[in-house]
Every structure is written in C-alpha cells, then in structure tokens.
Structure 1
Amino acid sequence: MSVRLGDRLPQSVQQLFAPSERERPEGQCFSLVTVDADGSPRPCMLSVGDLCPIGDRRLRAVVRPGSRTAANLGSGRSALLTLAAPPDVFHVRLTPARLPDAPGSPLARFEFTITSVDRDGHEGLPVTRPMWFAARPGRREDVLALWREQHRVLAH
C-alpha cells in the first residue's frame, strides 16, 4: 500500500546518497521518469554518482546534454524518481529547474524541488534488494573518477 509521507526525503532515503556510497563502483540504480512532449514516459537509470541531495527538500542531478531526459527536464515538466530503501520503495515527485553549466563540465545540471514522497510497502512481501549495478573490473577506477567529477559539478 502506498502512503503519502509529505514533501521531504525520509532519512532512510537520504542515507542511500551518503558519500560512502560513492567510494565503491557499484550500488543501487535509481529510476528517473520524465515526460516527453507527447506525454510518453521516458525512463532514465541513474546512480549515486549522478544524484546529490541538498537537504531533505531538494536533489541535484547531472544528465547528458542533448539527451531526451535533459530536454524533458529543461521543459520544467514534473519527474518521478523511484528508489528502494528496503523493506520499502519510495516514489519521489520532482519539479526540475536547469542550473547554469558548471565550469569545465559538459554535463547538464538540474535541481529538483521535492513536491511529494510516497512510501510503498507491503507487509509480508518486503523489498529485499534494489536494482543493482557493478562496474566491470577494468572500469572500476574510471567509474569512481567520473563520480568524483560529477559530484564536483553538482556542488557548484
């Protein structure tokens, strides 16, 4: 059953973005769904390296410029971020705003205002594992370096 929690990220969700989560090149995938101009949903998978909470009411994200996700976010249309913090799943509704480009970065930066958070939990059927990714052995250091750079960009 889904329960509306308000417009703030719960502590269990904020912990998913702890700096320690960016110190290993594996972790949870987050699903960001934007809306195309024709009303079609557009999914985009993000990692902890792509997102950064700013307090409990805002999030920042980087996406590839020129992508449909960047265009949809740039339109200001609402977005939905879905993530798992076992035993629950959270659906976070967002209003995006484009941030100025960060010096030396080609990434598109966005800041989201959280408009609502729903917790979806089922007694007897808890979520035990989120969607997960892991960098290939030869790419581990590249992923960590990318995340460090993306978080530098998100901090400005």
Structure 2
Amino acid sequence: MTSGTNRVRDDAERRGIPIEIVERAPATSLEHAAELLGITPAEIVKSLVVKRSDGNYLFALVPGDRQISWPKLRAVVGVNKLRMPEAGLALDATGFARGTITPLGSSTAWPVFADERIAGKRVSMGSGDHGYTAWVHTDDLIRGLDATVADITTETGTD
C-alpha cells in the first residue's frame, strides 16, 4: 500500500467503516475502470470536490453514470454559487490527485453530500492512489462520514 491508500484505510478504520482496498490495472476512464472491475459505471462512486464561494470545499458523492445537478446541489447546500476547482486546488483541499479523491483520509474533513441513488449498495471508489480501488458499502460510508443524503444529480449530458 502507498501513503494515500494507508490514509484512506486508517481513516475508514477510525470511523468504523469496513473497507477493502485492492490493486487494479490502470484505467483510462471511469467506463474503463468499471470494465476492469466487472461492474457498471453506476457501481462506481465519484468523489467530487466542490468549491464554495467562501473558499471552503465540500465533497459530492455521485454515481458514475450521473453528474452533479448544480441547481439541486446549491439548494441542498443553501448557497448561490458552487464550482469545480482546478486540479491543483482540489489536490490542496484534499491531499489527493484527481482520479484518486475520496473523503476518507482527506487532509481536511470537508462536509459530504451523497446522492440518494448510492444508498444501499456496495461500490468502488477512489482509494487515495492511482492503481487501487476501494470497495465499501455506501450505508457504512454515509453513516461514518455523517453525509447529507439528497437528490443532487442528473443524468449525464443534461442540466
């Protein structure tokens, strides 16, 4: 294991979230990762870092076959402006590079907002390092992160 995956594993253990981190072949896209893992894109949860206008951040946990609905997420968070930060800002905010980001082990424990569609599933998600995936039951993840669960996504290609 590398430093990122160790941070993820340690944080999950501290929060009482059972997690399995496994090595996998490098993937060129989310769809490719799903194919390598033998699952559908919906069974991968994207951990997206979102910047608030006050300079703070939040995590949005989104099924791999969907995208953030900005109007829905702004309404749930209770703000007028949100945006995706540049890769360098996301790294600074979490300690993880894009493609490896997860709220678990993040350098700052930002609030977590989970799309309601991930509830009740076993999913793959970022593990803190390229070439690894984390398997977790979303109900354990939501509980352990004290995540707000709401309808925050739309179908890919809409909104």
Bigger radius of gyration: 1
TM over 0.5: no
What is the TM-score normalised by the length of structure 2?
0.34
What is the TM-score normalised by the length of structure 1?
0.35
Instruction: Kindly indicate which of the two structures has a greater share of residues assigned to helix.
Output: 2
Instruction: Kindly indicate which of the two structures has a greater share of residues assigned to strand.
Output: 1
